[in-house]
Amino acid sequence: MSNFIFQALNGLSSAMFLWLVAAGLTVAFGVCGILNVAHGSLYMMGAYFAFTSFQILGLNFWLSLVFALIGAGIIGFLMERFFLRRIYDQPIEFQLILTFAFILVFDNLTKMIWGTMLIIPTMPSLFQGTIPIVGRPFPIYNLFIVFAGIAVGLIIWVILNKTWWGMKLRAAASQREMANAIGINIPTLFTAAFVFAALLAAIGGALSTPIRVCDSGVGGAVIIQAFVVTVIGGLGSLKGAFVGALIIGVIGALCTLYVPFIELFVLYLIMAVVLIIRPQGLFGGER
């Protein structure tokens, strides 16, 4: 039984990374209508920037997170303002191809800039060590991740529901024309929303560096998991992304314990079943 609890807790911390990437993906889709296949690459850029500032420049951990946010935010801004904006009126296929091309570009640029360096982070001393949970050592950092993920969730909730900007965002997401009609500057809002999404992905990436290998292929690997999560939770729903991430993270970890060889199949099966029975996901509205 303690095995189960422990593994589930593991799954919870994996889920937080999924949640952060999926949250950004779903915001970009819900507000701007963009399905950004390169979203995983923004996660990756966050990781690389954090690594560079923490490991190479020697900044402290929290500052490196900020650095990652700034870096990814700029990239997100450039992506939206100069590239994605031009294809809002195009069918979704063009978006998917354009953003897929971005995956190729980011992957290659990362290789060129950071070279064949193995991104081997060290744990910030603040988080080293473990805490006994159900009698077994659980890494403190993983626990931190769980709290960080929840904290980010709360921050997002506050922003969306309690701030003026958040209200504009929600208005634009549900009724674009009306929002435009009452004077909300849609293009600027879209850019801001996309940058916000990029920041979420970047935080996920930055937080992952102490415990996960970072390489130039991470962008492509992460996006597929984010798709599974957002589909299950419902494209456009943040609550859905959170719940979806929990489901996938925990089920994935439990599969590792009990039925390791069919883990991947199970995850995609869940995705397919959700799409067949309830395509809008657990929390998505009609779209």
Neighbours of 113 (CB within 10 A): 11
* Total residue count of the chain as it appears in this document: 287
Size of the site for another protein (CB under 8 A): 76
- Site residues for another protein, 29-58, by CB under 8 A, read 35
The answer to whether residue 78 forms part of the interface with another protein (CB under 8 A) is: no
Q: Tokens 């965002």 belong to which residue? A: 169
Residues 66, 167, 256, 282: which binds another protein (CB under 8 A)? 256
The one-letter code for the residue type at 6 is F
Q: Sketch the per residue contact string, 193 through 222, with another protein: x for CB under 8 A, - otherwise.
A: ---------------x--xxx-xxxx-xx-
Q: What is the DSSP string of 221-279?
A: HHHHHHHHHHHHH-TT-HHHHHHHHHHHHHHHHHHHHH-GGGHHHHHHHHHHHHHHH-T
The answer to whether residue 177 forms part of the interface with another protein (CB under 8 A) is: no
Contacting range for another protein; rule: CB under 8 A; set: 55-63, 186-194, 196-204, 274-282: 274-282
Q: Sketch the per residue contact string, 114 through 153, with another protein: x for CB under 8 A, - otherwise.
A: --x-xxx-xx----x-x-----xx-x-xx-----------
Contacting range for another protein; rule: CB under 8 A; set: 54-62, 152-160, 178-186, 264-272: 264-272
Residues 59, 63, 74, 109: which binds another protein (CB under 8 A)? 109
Residues 43, 44, 107, 207: which binds another protein (CB under 8 A)? 107
The answer to whether residue 251 forms part of the interface with another protein (CB under 8 A) is: no
The answer to whether residue 176 forms part of the interface with another protein (CB under 8 A) is: no
Partnered with residue 137 across adjacent β-strands are 132
Q: Give the N- to C-terminal CA distance of the chain in Å, as an integer.
A: 42
Q: What is the Cα–Cα distance from 87 to 50, expressed in whole angstroms?
A: 31
**CA count, 13 A, side-chain hemisphere, 261:** 0
